[in-house]
Homo-oligomer: A and B are copies of this chain.
Amino acid sequence: MGALLKFGALLLAAVAACVAWEDGDVWDYDGHKLKDSDFLALWPLPQKVQSSAVSFQLSASRFQFTHAEGSSAGSDCSILQNAFRRYFDYIFGFTKKDRDQRRRNAAGSEVLELQVAITSPDAECDGFPSLTSDESCECGAAPSSESSPPVIAFLTQITQNINKTGVSDFPRFAHRGVLLDSSRHYLPLKVILANLVTMAMNKYNVFHWHISDDQSFPYVSRMFPDLSQKGSYHPYTHVYTPADVKMVIEFARMRGIRVIAEFDTPGHTQSWGFGQKDLLTPCYTGSSPSGTYGPVNPILNTTYDFMAGFFKEISTVFPDAYVHLGGDEVDFSCWKSNPDIQKFMDQQGFGKDYSKLESFYIQRLLDIVSSTDKGYMVWQEVFDNGVKLKMDTLIHVWKGNEAQYQAEMARVTGAGYRTLLSTPWYLNRISYGQDWRDAYKADPCNFTGTDAQKKLVIGGEACLWGEYVDASNLTPRLWPRASAVAERLWSDQGVRDISDAYVRLVQHRCRMVERGIPAEPLFTGYCRHEYSGV
């Protein structure tokens, strides 16, 4: 017997998928084969699954991962080696001894090996995942000799004989993100890393790091150290050092996750003002400065000099091809109060239309960032205000009710821009009961538009804004509610059965809990191993 796991490219989120249904659910307490409901607890649901009642067994002492002949990645590929370690632990970590004992007298149907084949010429072992990475995965069985038996590992539950392919999988959307906000509350590294682990379990491939905002600036800039020195909650304990940022990026890379940093301007920047003189607009009461500050000052050349330096640094620190530039919720009242701004408005012929001033700023910022060879994501206001955008700009829709965001998706794609959706997935908003269902039902392609328009939808992001969230409650608030979004973004558009989703998600949630993640319960019930923290 033999088994083969084929990836388009080396994206470990895909590994997570192909392995997911095995973890801890294959044998129950009494060593019985899985019930159907257990078996079907795949999350997110793969595009195609062929299942069978035939079961194989695994032994921690005999099982191994191998590189298939012809694979473009071998044992020098650290991403794969890391994945092997993780998944070996997931499979055998919990009930190792127990399983081994049971399996000793069942050698005939034992799975000894999982061959991994990377089919694309570039295995991306040392590179970073990108928007165009191939995340497809074929999990199946292939013939082999008895003497050196490569055997189905993760596929034992779904392969009737070695000639049948078990799973054929690929994501519906290329951009599947989670936004975490480390400004309203500082998020210790441990929390970020734990959530990257959980993102991988849910096949998310983008960590949108909303790193700065009004409340604090925790990013330690090498070029402008005063930003965090003076703008963070605490310059030593509540900051992300260059080493921290590097670790987050590498930890994410190992799991097929891109890190897209957001440095939101010109609004949401109060914390920047402490460490960068003259960056923010002085607000006025009558003819005198009030002592308070507004958005970034868009009329000074020093502002653009600073931004050029700052985003040059960002472009080297964050390897992803995109940077998120924010651009949302600019409050015009301070600009309006400032006589210098008023004069500038007159000179530019903007009249009283401050959105033109906003666009003026954004336009110059985009030019600056373009010069660093990065693409950019922006919140929808930038598009709404008519700023001239490069056609590869990603427009991030977040506002309005259902009808409004659907209309916005239609407008953005109608103008030929690629877009992603977050409006229905502001998971910081909570309500009593099973609110994961609303998140599950929303669909980014539910709007009136042509097929060409729908193709411009690259995905979406679950957002967990930080006003009421920090290390104490982030993880259970995010999971498994974000899992609902994950399936919407990965699985086929037709996967919408809420009852079926409930059954699978209950088990997927227990799988997260059993891996040490305090994902909250959907409803009454239990996990075999409850969360062991407090």
- A387 CB to closest chain B CB, in angstroms? 29
Contacts of A173 in B (CB 8 A): none
Partner of A472, one of B216, B476, B524: B476
Contacts of A519 in B (CB 8 A): 472
Using known A-B contacts A185-B521, A531-B471, determine if residue A431 contacts B432 with beta carbons closer than 8 Å: yes
Q: Does A461 contact B (CB under 8 A)?
A: no
Do residues B471 and A526 form an inter-chain contact, with CB atoms below 8 A?
no
Q: Which of A73-81, A232-240, A324-332 contacts B (4 or more CB under 8 A)?
A: A232-240
Do residues A429 and B429 form an inter-chain contact, with CB atoms below 8 A?
no
Partner of A185, one of B237, B238, B431, B524: B524
Using known A-B contacts A431-B430, A525-B185, determine if residue A470 contacts B520 with beta carbons closer than 8 Å: yes
Q: Does A466 contact B (CB under 8 A)?
A: yes
Partner of A432, one of B216, B429, B518: B429
For A513, the closest partner residue in chain B by CB is: B472
For A190, the closest partner residue in chain B by CB is: B534
Q: Does A337 contact B (CB under 8 A)?
A: no
Do residues B518 and A472 form an inter-chain contact, with CB atoms below 8 A?
yes
Do residues B530 and A533 form an inter-chain contact, with CB atoms below 8 A?
no
Partner of A530, one of B468, B470, B518: B470
Do residues B521 and A472 form an inter-chain contact, with CB atoms below 8 A?
yes
- A241 CB to closest chain B CB, in angstroms? 16
For A193, the closest partner residue in chain B by CB is: B534
Q: Does A108 contact B (CB under 8 A)?
A: no
Contacts of A467 in B (CB 8 A): 523-524
Do residues B473 and A518 form an inter-chain contact, with CB atoms below 8 A?
yes
Distance in angstroms between the alpha carbons of A215 and B525 in the assembled complex: 7
User: For chain A residues 498-534, which have a beta carbon within 8 Å of chain B?
Assistant: 513, 516-526, 528-534
Do residues B194 and A534 form an inter-chain contact, with CB atoms below 8 A?
yes
Give the bracket for the number of chain A residues in contact with chain B: 35 or more
For A218, the closest partner residue in chain B by CB is: B526
Copies per complex of this chain = 2
Contacts of A191 in B (CB 8 A): 534
Q: Does A281 contact B (CB under 8 A)?
A: no
Give A463-504 as 1s and 0s: 1 = Cβ < 8 Å from B's Cβ atoms: 000111111110111000000000000000000000000000
Distance in angstroms between the alpha carbons of A472 and B477 in the assembled complex: 10
Distance in angstroms between the alpha carbons of A525 and B233 in the assembled complex: 8
Q: Does A433 contact B (CB under 8 A)?
A: yes
User: For chain A residues 173-216, which have a beta carbon within 8 Å of chain B?
Assistant: 184-186, 188, 190-191, 194, 215-216
Distance in angstroms between the alpha carbons of A363 and B305 in the assembled complex: 82
Do residues B534 and A518 form an inter-chain contact, with CB atoms below 8 A?
yes
Partner of A471, one of B430, B523, B530: B530
Distance in angstroms between the alpha carbons of A94 and B407 in the assembled complex: 54
Do residues A184 and B524 form an inter-chain contact, with CB atoms below 8 A?
yes
Give A391-404 as 1s and 0s: 1 = Cβ < 8 Å from B's Cβ atoms: 00000000000000
Distance in angstroms between the alpha carbons of A534 and B432 in the assembled complex: 23
- A30 CB to closest chain B CB, in angstroms? 12
Give A108-148 as 1s and 0s: 1 = Cβ < 8 Å from B's Cβ atoms: 00000000000000000000000000000000000000000
Do residues B533 and A534 form an inter-chain contact, with CB atoms below 8 A?
yes
**CB<8 Å pairs between A and B, sample of 5:** A185-B521, A186-B530, A188-B531, A216-B526, A238-B526
Chain A residues in the interface with B (C-beta under 8 A):
184-186, 188, 190-191, 194, 215-216, 233-234, 237-238, 428-434, 466-473, 475-477, 513, 516-526, 528-534
- Shortest beta-carbon contacts, A-B, top 10: A473-B476, A472-B518, A233-B526, A473-B520, A471-B531, A194-B534, A472-B531, A184-B524, A215-B524, A472-B476
